[in-house]
Amino acid sequence: MNEHHIISYRKLTGIWLVLLLLTALTVAITRVELGGYKVLAALTIACAKAGLVIAFFMHMKYEGRLLRWLLFLALLTLAIFIGLTFFDVLYR
């Protein structure tokens, strides 16, 4: 456990502030009429927020290769599920 990276309180607070800012941005963007782009914009920001939580709060940025690849594999599996389902739903 000695090689473990310690994230300072200041850095964690900084990430939290960015997350709050992104939340405010999502609310602001979705109050405007953007039509279909609203979903895209909101999900893009949500993915950015999720990335910050995983990288810093969950320490993934400081983990080794194995955990990162496994995370990638899990997300890829989810993407394949969603992609194949919509391939069916959209072109039926």
Give the footprint of other proteins on this chain (CB under 8 A): 1, 4, 6-9, 12-13, 15-16, 19-20, 23, 26-27, 30, 38-39, 42-43, 45-46, 49-50, 53-54, 56-59, 66-67, 70-71, 74-75, 77-78, 81-82, 85-86, 89-90
Question: How many whole angstroms separate alpha carbon 73 and alpha carbon 70?
Answer: 5
Q: How far is the CB of 84 from other proteins (least distance, A)?
A: 10
Cβ at position 2, least distance to other proteins in Å: 9
Element (DSSP H or E) covering residue 80: helix 65-90
Q: What is the largest CA-CA distance in the chain?
A: 55
> Can you tell me whether residue 59 is helix, strand or coil?
coil
